[in-house]
Amino acid sequence: MVFVATVVLSGCTSGPAVMIPQAKVYGPQGHRFSVSFLRSPTVSVSSHVNVKSEYRTSVGKRWFWSGGGVLVIVDALNNVPPPKQINPFLRSYLPTSHGGRIISRLGFRAATEIVPCSTPAGSCPGTVATLVLLDHSTIYEVSSSGLSSSGAQKIMSTFRIVN
């Protein structure tokens, strides 16, 4: 017997409700996570990633999963920033890079922010929401775009580190 759970989201707009499928597990060994994507995600990998020298760290490898307005980026850090730099480092992944809140999520230091959607051409519907977690030398960045604030929060609430 298979049981599939689905969450229905309705935003402030009169548009259709968004169906959030059950979270699935993704990622390579040592960097596994679960989250709900709104569509089956595409995956790409980059080993040529910019160094974040202002935080005394660099990214060795970066994985991207993207599906239906939900994006997860996993960065394997070559080294962890010094303790006094961790909060600014986490904020550097957020949409405004200076705002957001530093929190503890799932026992890890994290940063989160939800802002109105905006593009260089102007505003767009919904929000941009980001959750960034530091697990030893791995950064997990989960973001959504175009969802209501409550829809974005529900997507973020499906995220778990699975290692």
pLDDT of residue 23: 95
Residue 112 predicted with pLDDT over 50: yes
Residue 34 predicted with pLDDT over 90: yes
Q: What is the pLDDT of residues 65-108, one digit of tens each?
A: 999 999 999 999 998 999 999 999 999 999 886 779 999 998 99
Residue 115 predicted with pLDDT over 70: yes
For the chain, what is the mean pLDDT? 85
What pLDDT band is residue 6 in, cutting at 50, 70 and 90? very low
**Six token digits for residue 106:** 């799932």
Residue 48 predicted with pLDDT over 80: no
- What do you get for the CA distance between the two ends of the chain, in Å? 27
Structure pTM? 0.84
pLDDT of residue 55: 87
pLDDT of residue 17: 61
Interval 27-40 mean pLDDT: 95
**How many residues does the structure list for the chain?**
163
Task: Enumerate domains of the chain plus CATH numbers.
Answer: 7-161 (3.40.1000)
